[in-house]
Chain A
Amino acid sequence: MAAGQGFKTFATGDVLTAADTNGYLMQGVWVFASATARDAAVTSPQEGNTCYLKDTDQILVYSGSAWVVKSGGASPLTTKGDLYGYSTTDARIAVGTNGQVLTADSTAATGVAWATASAGSLTKITSGTFTGASSFSVDSAFSSTYANYKMIVVGTSGGGAASSIQIRFRTGGTDNTTTNYSGGRNSTIFSTGGTEIDTSSNDSKFTFGRTDSSGGWWMQFDVLNPFVSQLTSAIGGHSDITRGGDSAGRFNGTTSFDGIKILNQAGNNIAGSYYIYGYGN
């Protein structure tokens, strides 16, 4: 087959030569039943030759060394959620299962694969609200899955009177009231810059935060080793409307805990929200 020569405007009286026919008139889109039929008919394709293959519904152009698909290929997609990928040719990437994420995977034919998302370094275990009680306990929050936890308490009501907020650990739905708790808060009084220290030593719970007579109160802390049979500690901070600062406490024993209680020392009802997360081991 002759190489394409571009475009030519014939004038009246021009002679249509074989070269003109092959170089101009034959340079359209050749339609074949298949690549086999094309290759049988066009034994010496030239760069720029174009064909349409009826069996694959594809338009191909000869690059000078090979026929290259330019368009018209049938979609490989068959199922809701399928993605259009590529291996050495266009290929279907079948939809993954619920919750999976698409990741690069050089071992997959298309270079990507659906996989279960990694848990991440901080995983929420539970959250909720509390109201109408002087304490709230969250059971079955600690397990062997994580060694350490983060807890955030956003108090919206402290019961209308200044009081200490204290922490106690639980196992199997029961408070541990042994006198193994020591801890406290070191608060800066916002209005004066003075300090206020409230501690517990060898007590049945430890002081960690505070409520004022009005407004919110907040605590955030890490709970270290509550479930494993090692000493358990809580370290973080607290604030209310009038003061705030560091807080810490520990249980001097190797008891395994699966729950935690937050209680208002004065016995007044408290309200707010809580969040517990597990740190990836």
Chain B
Amino acid sequence: MANTPKVLIINAVTGEQELRDMNVEELAQWQVDKDSDAAKEAKAATEAIAKAALLAKLGITEDEAKLLLA
């Protein structure tokens, strides 16, 4: 099992530092963030594949497509 990510919290006024494992809420938020970022990356990958397929269908390169839209 992977180690729980740690967080470091520093108080700028007192200089106190706390290094600890993410608590339940932080771990949950981290998972939400990971899922959100993964979904974003999957969407971007899907769009890239669709874009490449469209370019292939049109028989033009990405630069030519940019020229067309300029």
B contact residues around A135 at 8 Å (CB): 5, 7-8
**Secondary structure type dominating chain B contacts:** mixed
- Complex CA–CA separation, A173 to B25 (angstroms): 13
B contact residues around A164 at 8 Å (CB): 37
B contact residues around A136 at 8 Å (CB): 7-10
**Secondary structure type dominating chain A contacts:** strand
- Complex CA–CA separation, A23 to B20 (angstroms): 95
Closest B residue, CB atoms, query A265: B37
| Interface-central residue, B15, B17, B19, B33, by most chain A CB under 10 Å | B33
User: A243 on the interface (CB 8 Å rule)?
Assistant: no
- Among A26-34, A123-131, A230-238, the one that faces the other chain is A123-131
Closest A residue, CB atoms, query B2: A267
Do residues B19 and A132 form an inter-chain contact, with CB atoms below 8 A?
yes
Interface flags, B1-22, vs A, CB<8A=1, else 0: 0000111111111110101000
Closest B residue, CB atoms, query A142: B12
Q: Point out the residue from B8, B15, B32, B36 that lies within 8 Å of A137, measured CB to CB.
A: B8
Q: Point out the residue from A132, A204, A269 that lies within 8 Å of B29, measured CB to CB.
A: A204
Interface residues on A, range: 20 to 34
User: A185 on the interface (CB 8 Å rule)?
Assistant: no
Interface residues on B, range: 20 to 34
Number of A-B contacts (CB under 8 A): 63
Chain A residues 224-281 with CB under 8 Å of chain B are 259, 265, 267, 269, 276
User: A139 on the interface (CB 8 Å rule)?
Assistant: yes
Closest B residue, CB atoms, query A267: B5
Q: Point out the residue from A134, A137, A139, A141 that lies within 8 Å of B5, measured CB to CB.
A: A134
User: A140 on the interface (CB 8 Å rule)?
Assistant: yes
| Interface-central residue, B5, B12, B33, by most chain A CB under 10 Å | B12
User: A20 on the interface (CB 8 Å rule)?
Assistant: no
User: A116 on the interface (CB 8 Å rule)?
Assistant: no
Q: Point out the residue from B11, B19, B32 that lies within 8 Å of A140, measured CB to CB.
A: B11
Closest A residue, CB atoms, query B37: A265
Q: A132-B19, A205-B33 are in contact. Are A269 and B6 (CB under 8 A)?
A: yes
A contact residues around B19 at 8 Å (CB): 132-133
Do residues A139 and B6 form an inter-chain contact, with CB atoms below 8 A?
no
Q: Point out the residue from B10, B29, B32, B33 that lies within 8 Å of A139, measured CB to CB.
A: B10
Q: A133-B5, A133-B19 are in contact. Are A267 and B10 (CB under 8 A)?
A: no
Measured between C-beta atoms, what is the minimum distance from A76 to chain B in Å? 44
User: A177 on the interface (CB 8 Å rule)?
Assistant: yes
- Complex CA–CA separation, A130 to B7 (angstroms): 10
Q: A132-B19, A133-B19, A203-B36 are in contact. Are A175 and B26 (CB under 8 A)?
A: yes
Can you identify 5 A-B contacts, CB atoms within 8 angstroms? A126-B12, A128-B15, A128-B17, A134-B5, A139-B11
Task: List chain A positions with a Cβ less than 8 A from chain B.
Answer: 125-126, 128, 130-141, 164, 173, 175, 177, 200, 203-205, 259, 265, 267, 269, 276
